[in-house]
Amino acid sequence: MRFTLLVAALAAVSACSPSIPDSAAGVGFDDYNEYQARKQAQIAARAVPSPGTVSDEATAPPQTTDFAASTSSTTPTASAADDSADLAAETRAALAATRANSGQAPLQADPNNPPPETVTSATGISSENDFTAVGNARSIESDKELLARNRAQYQVVQPTALPARKSSSEPNIVEYALATRHPRGTHVYSRIGLNKEARYRRNCANYASADLAQIDFLSKGGPMRDKLGLDPDGDGYACGWDPTPFRKAVSG
């Protein structure tokens, strides 16, 4: 009797529990494979442009909206419309030029495009560095003949005596610079007279350079005497002449 009551209770409990739906079923369909087939059919029905397709749709100038027309008279709507029309015309011209790209359609970026062709003008190493080319063009005999021709054209010029320097009555300021050792401003020779500074400036202004003044100074008794007043400090150098460059040229 107890067993019968237990079986009846289990049957009542199982009748009240909810049923578990089939995992293969879905919302709005009974079979998952049927759902996949319908989905693929919907995707295939849509119009998808193929890769590399270029739109031929012409660019039209933007239309003036009611909001732009309702703005105040101070807004440059006419200028904006002109700019838009110019931009549209330039865009159409650019598209037309692109289509006339040497008769070839522009290449669109696509991973499936072939790599660009490598263009090079290199034809190999030069003939001077190609041993085969040099060997075909020249030989030991030809090099020997070339060496003989060069030796025949070679001339040895024998040295000759240097020409004698023309004698000159003017003093040589280079020899004078090398014969002296004291720097400028060193009082070596006595100078007497009045207003020596004014006379010095006035007479030195008559020479185009200090070298010419030094030559004239030496030719008229310098450095012991200074008849022209070109050396008021008694250093033996007239009108600021400097013997240092000549000394450095010899000493190196």
Q: How far apart are CA 13 and CA 19, in angstroms?
A: 13
Per-residue pLDDT tens over the stretch 92-143:
877 776 666 655 666 677 788 888 777 666 667 777 788 787 778 878 888 8
What is the pLDDT at residue 47? 54
Q: How far apart are CA 152 and CA 144, in angstroms?
A: 12
Q: How far apart are CA 107 and CA 96, in angstroms?
A: 15
Please name the residue that has the structure tokens 């009082």: 187
Write b or e for each residue in 228-246: b if 16 or more Cβ atoms lie within 10 A of its Cβ, otherwise e: bbbbbbbbbbbbbbebeeb
Q: How far apart are CA 217 and CA 239, in angstroms?
A: 9
| Residue 69 in this model has a pLDDT that exceeds 70 | no
Per-residue pLDDT tens over the stretch 192-242:
888 888 999 999 999 999 999 999 999 999 999 999 999 999 999 999 999
What is the pLDDT at residue 3? 57
**Per-residue pLDDT averaged across 142-170, rounded?**
85
Share of residues in the chain with pLDDT > 90 (%): 30
What is the pLDDT at residue 85? 81
Which H/E stretch holds residue 210? helix 210-219
Between 130 and 176, the more confident residue is 176
Q: Which of 8-12, 58-62, 123-127 has the lowest mean pLDDT?
A: 58-62
Contacts of 249 (CB under 8 A, 6+ apart): none
Share of residues in the chain with pLDDT > 70 (%): 66
- 62: number of Cβ within 10 Å: 13
The residues that bridge with 29 in the sheet, in sequence order, are 26
Contacts of 197 (CB under 8 A, 6+ apart): 232
pTM (2 d.p.): 0.36
